[in-house]
């Protein structure tokens, strides 16, 4: 198994991950390692191509991982060994991101059969099944006893989390024309639930009754490309990210051909737009509080490291971006290996992404340089799940990997 070395020195952080020469070919190292490998899926139950998408959910208290699978099951796995605790079967592929609720010890997740499931975390007992009539792949959101979920038919649904009864729903007619696979999830804050649709609209609804809180915000209207061409794709497929933008509450979202936008949470007006970050399909808000320098940690002296905050945008067309949250300007941009890439996730102060052809990368957030990489011997389409220094992801061949990140030692003054 090939590994990439931890980058040393500021200049080496500028290295690009390129398909012609993956970094691990000539630079063996050990920042990223495999703790276990476990074959999970039943290949006889996979009717389509064996792409494993979605993202696992981690139950830290009971050391369990809930892994979606193309074979129509959700697997509960021991986080220490990868041993299967149980498998819950559905009527379609499970390519979603589950939501684990420690308060009830339950798991909410969607399936390609169009249903949203609630099961007991301990043994997989079904609590209820809510039929949405279209694939459910995005992670549900819980807020004050209400479960919010979006399906592939541009429908936002609010469900009573205890009874599984419908509270309200909002539907938009899907766009006509060429669409990119995937769709946005939802985010909740300040009494509103935010989501985006395949026609390029971004909407805010009341969490109480689903009433519209914005006028229609259609990103397609000004989404001509950076070259001045009309957009070919209308999709706004990224789950909104809620954060402060300058001095106001903001909503960060991307339009496939229009780039990345910051909208005012109260009104929906555009605060800024980065029209160069086209093709973005996933967003992550990366934040680092002010902290002591590495010299201080090692017993020396030095200035405190200032707080940092970046929007990380992942695009199969234009690469991985670090974008200033307040202004929308590019801080860094890095090319990625050809083929699909996953959403970025935070782990041990770094970012981890999976790539379809070249395995997993560990990326330094402030400059985007590659720290490490690992090629597990099979393609990966799934987004990793991470907690602390540990991560879990399944290959397209149905093999679950338990991964560990080894942080570099502190600098000790002598």
Which of the four pLDDT bands, split at 50, 70 and 90, describes residue 44?
confident
pLDDT at position 408, please?
Answer: 61
Which of the residue ranges 21-35, 142-156, 241-255 would you say has the lowest mean pLDDT?
21-35
Which of the four pLDDT bands, split at 50, 70 and 90, describes residue 336?
confident
Distances (CA, A) of 201 to 64, 264, 343: 37, 15, 22
Q: Please give the average per-residue pLDDT across 146-165, as a whole number.
A: 96
pLDDT for 128 beyond 80: yes
Q: Please give the average per-residue pLDDT across 141-151, as a whole number.
A: 97
pLDDT at position 370, please?
Answer: 86
388-398 pLDDT tens trace: 999 999 999 89
Q: Please give the average per-residue pLDDT across 310-337, as a whole number.
A: 92
pLDDT at position 307, please?
Answer: 83
Which of the four pLDDT bands, split at 50, 70 and 90, describes residue 26?
very low
Across the beta sheet with 73-78, what order do the strands follow? Answer: 57-59, 64-68, 73-78, 84-89
Query: Taking all residues of the chain, what is their mean pLDDT, rounded to a whole number?
Result: 85
Which of the four pLDDT bands, split at 50, 70 and 90, describes residue 410?
low
| Maximum C-alpha span of the chain | 67
In the Cβ-directed half-sphere of 177, how many Cα atoms lie within 13 Å?
9
Q: Please give the average per-residue pLDDT across 340-344, as a whole number.
A: 86
pLDDT at position 9, please?
Answer: 28
pLDDT at position 48, please?
Answer: 72
Q: Sign of torsion, CA 228 234 235 236? A: positive
pLDDT for 188 beyond 50: yes
Q: Please give the average per-residue pLDDT across 142-167, as a whole number.
A: 96
pLDDT at position 23, please?
Answer: 42
What's the whole-model pTM score? 0.87
pLDDT at position 227, please?
Answer: 60
pLDDT at position 6, please?
Answer: 32
Judging by DSSP bridges, how do beta strands 57-59 and 115-120 pair with one another? unpaired
- Tokens 């208290």 label which residue? 61
246-277 pLDDT tens trace: 999 999 999 988 999 999 999 999 999 999 99
pLDDT for 361 beyond 80: yes
pLDDT at position 234, please?
Answer: 74
pLDDT at position 375, please?
Answer: 85
Which of the four pLDDT bands, split at 50, 70 and 90, describes residue 302?
low
pLDDT at position 412, please?
Answer: 47
pLDDT for 283 beyond 60: yes
pLDDT at position 224, please?
Answer: 62
pLDDT for 356 beyond 70: yes
Which of the four pLDDT bands, split at 50, 70 and 90, describes residue 30?
low
pLDDT at position 175, please?
Answer: 67
Which of the residue ranges 163-177, 272-286, 290-304 would you say has the lowest mean pLDDT?
290-304
Q: Please give the average per-residue pLDDT across 327-337, as a whole number.
A: 91
DSSP-derived secondary structure for 246-311:
TTEEEEEEEETTTEEEEEETTT--EEEEETT-TTEEEEEEEEE--B--HHHHTT---PPBPPEEEE
**Distance in Å from the first CA to the final CA of the chain:** 36
Which of the four pLDDT bands, split at 50, 70 and 90, describes residue 286?
very high
pLDDT for 141 beyond 80: yes
Which of the residue ranges 111-115, 120-124, 376-380 would you say has the lowest mean pLDDT?
376-380
DSSP-derived secondary structure for 67-94:
EE-TTSEEEEEETTT--EEEEEE-SS--
pLDDT at position 25, please?
Answer: 38
SS3 label, residue 394: strand
Q: Which residue has the higher pLDDT, 43 or 75?
A: 75
């Amino acid at each position: 198994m090939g590994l990439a070395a931890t980058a040393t020195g500021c200049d080496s952080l500028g290295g690009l991950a390129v398909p012609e020469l993956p970094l691990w070919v000539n630079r063996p190292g050990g920042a990223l390692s495999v703790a276990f490998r476990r074959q999970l899926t039943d290949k006889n139950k996979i009717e389509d191509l064996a792409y494993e998408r979605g993202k696992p959910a981690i139950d830290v208290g009971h050391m369990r991982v809930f892994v979606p699978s193309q074979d129509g099951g959700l697997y509960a796995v021991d986080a220490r060994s990868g041993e299967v605790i149980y498998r819950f079967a559905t009527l379609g592929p499970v390519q979603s991101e589950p939501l684990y609720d420690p308060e009830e010890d339950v798991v909410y997740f969607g399936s390609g059969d169009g249903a949203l499931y609630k099961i007991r975390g301990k043994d997989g007992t079904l609590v209820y099944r809510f039929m949405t009539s279209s694939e459910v792949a995005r992670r549900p959101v819980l807020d004050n006893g209400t479960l919010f979920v979006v399906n592939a038919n541009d429908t936002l649904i609010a469900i009573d989390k205890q009874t599984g009864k419908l509270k309200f729903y909002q539907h938009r007619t899907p766009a006509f024309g060429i669409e990119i696979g995937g769709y946005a999830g939802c985010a909740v804050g300040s009494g509103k639930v935010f989501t985006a649709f395949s026609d390029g609209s971004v909407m805010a609804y009341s969490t109480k009754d689903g009433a519209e809180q914005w006028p229609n915000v259609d990103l397609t209207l000004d989404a001509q490309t950076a070259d001045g061409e009309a957009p070919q794709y209308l999709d706004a497929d990224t789950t909104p990210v809620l954060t402060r933008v300058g001095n106001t509450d903001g909503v960060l979202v991307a339009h496939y051909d229009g780039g990345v936008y910051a909208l005012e949470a109260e009104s929906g007006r555009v605060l800024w737009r980065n029209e160069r970050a086209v093709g973005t399909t996933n967003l992550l808000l990366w934040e680092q509080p002010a902290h002591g320098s590495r010299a201080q940690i090692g017993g020396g002296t030095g200035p405190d490291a200032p707080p940092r905050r970046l929007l990380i945008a992942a695009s199969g067309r234009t690469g991985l971006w670090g974008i200033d949250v307040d202004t929308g300007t590019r801080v860094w941009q890095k090319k990625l290996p050809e083929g699909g890439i996953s959403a970025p996730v935070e782990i041990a102060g770094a970012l981890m992404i999976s790539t379809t052809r070249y395995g997993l990368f560990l990326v330094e957030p402030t400059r985007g340089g590659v720290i490490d990489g690992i090629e597990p011997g099979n393609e990966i389409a799934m987004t990793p799940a991470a907690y602390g220094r540990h991560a879990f992801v399944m290959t397209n061949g149905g093999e679950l990997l338990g991964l560990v990140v080894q942080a570099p030692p502190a600098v000790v003054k002598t």
